[in-house]
């Protein structure tokens, strides 16, 4: 539910920064900030993967335990690195180091580790928060069709290099509503909408009595958005 809360906040943030041209205004009077729109869209994509992995997917207790241990290790490594870079003489670092060593050993000896693929085991042993790869998500979930391609496309719009700089000229990439920039924004929004819809449907179906039945009418309108863009060419 914390991940879904994050999805909701990100969706609201995206809504606030979107340009809102109307029949009374020209598109180029709005700010078409593609990089920020792409960033929030990618956040929603990543958020759905986390939500699915940690909250929606039904797994055995043994596998759930391993996922929890890996997530704990990842969190502690991140905090350790932040504190170490802030003050390498911090006496509290020793406790982190001992704990991280113990957590790595716990994962290495976990009985479910042998059930993972080699690529997944390597990710688990490295303490990457989710041992599933984007390829795994593509193979398992229809909503993640072309995940790797779409994720790379958004990332290239987000990062200063390479493509987001090269696409800037006297018109494009300056926040003006040119046809290419408007189209890029629409692609970002189609992806954001898909993964936000999948997050909403996933949570609702997880609690059928409390949510799915109560909001059935609204959810009926949202469900088609999960597969939007799959027919007649994808984004």
Does position 233 have pLDDT exceeding 70, yes or no?
A: no
Range of the domain at 13: 2-57+133-227
Work out how many domains the chain is built from and give that number. Answer: 1
The first and second tokens of residue 188, run together, are 């970002």
H-helix segments, the chain: 2-17, 34-51, 61-86, 93-108, 118-125, 134-140, 147-158, 163-166, 179-206, 216-222
Q: Determine the pLDDT at residue 232.
A: 42
Q: How many residues does the chain have?
A: 235
User: Average of pLDDT values for 92-102?
Assistant: 95
- Encode pLDDT of 177-217 as tens digits: 888 888 999 999 999 999 999 999 999 999 999 999 999 99
Answer for the pair 116, 166: CB distance below 8 angstroms, yes or no.
no
Burial of 226 (0-12, 13-18, 19+ CB in 10 A): buried
Asked whether residue 67 is domain-assigned, the answer is no
User: Average of pLDDT values for 85-100?
Assistant: 95
- Encode pLDDT of 103-126 as tens digits: 999 999 999 999 999 999 999 999
Cα 59 to the chain's mean position, in Å? 20
Asked whether residue 137 is domain-assigned, the answer is yes
Asked whether residue 165 is domain-assigned, the answer is yes
Asked whether residue 98 is domain-assigned, the answer is no
- Confidence grade of residue 25 (pLDDT, cut at 50, 70, 90): confident
Asked whether residue 113 is domain-assigned, the answer is no
- Confidence grade of residue 164 (pLDDT, cut at 50, 70, 90): confident
Q: Determine the pLDDT at residue 108.
A: 97
């Amino acid at each position: 539910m914390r991940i879904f809360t994050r999805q909701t906040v990100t969706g609201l943030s995206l809504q606030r920064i979107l340009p809102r041209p109307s029949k009374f205004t020209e598109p180029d009077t709005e700010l078409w900030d593609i990089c920020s729109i792409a960033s929030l869209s990618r956040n929603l994509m990543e958020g759905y993967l986390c939500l699915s992995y940690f909250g929606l997917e039904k797994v055995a207790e043994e596998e759930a335990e391993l996922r929890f241990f890996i997530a704990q290790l990842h969190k502690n490594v991140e905090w350790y690195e932040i504190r170490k870079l802030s003050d390498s003489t911090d006496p509290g670092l020793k406790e982190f180091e001992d704990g991280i060593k113990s957590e790595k050993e716990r994962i290495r000896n976990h009985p479910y580790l042998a059930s993972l693929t080699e690529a997944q085991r390597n990710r688990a042993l490295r303490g990457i928060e989710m041992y599933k790869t984007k390829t795994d998500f593509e193979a398992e979930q229809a909503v993640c069709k072309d995940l790797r391609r779409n994720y790379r496309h958004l990332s290239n719009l987000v990062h200063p290099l390479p493509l987001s700089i090269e696409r800037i000229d006297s018109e494009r990439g300056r926040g003006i509503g040119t046809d290419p920039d408007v189209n890029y924004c629409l692609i970002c929004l189609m992806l954001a909408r898909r993964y936000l819809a999948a997050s909403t449907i996933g949570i609702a179906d997880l609690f059928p009595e409390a949510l799915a039945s109560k909001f059935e009418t609204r959810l009926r309108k949202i469900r088609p958005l999960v597969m939007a863009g799959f027919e007649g060419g994808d984004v």
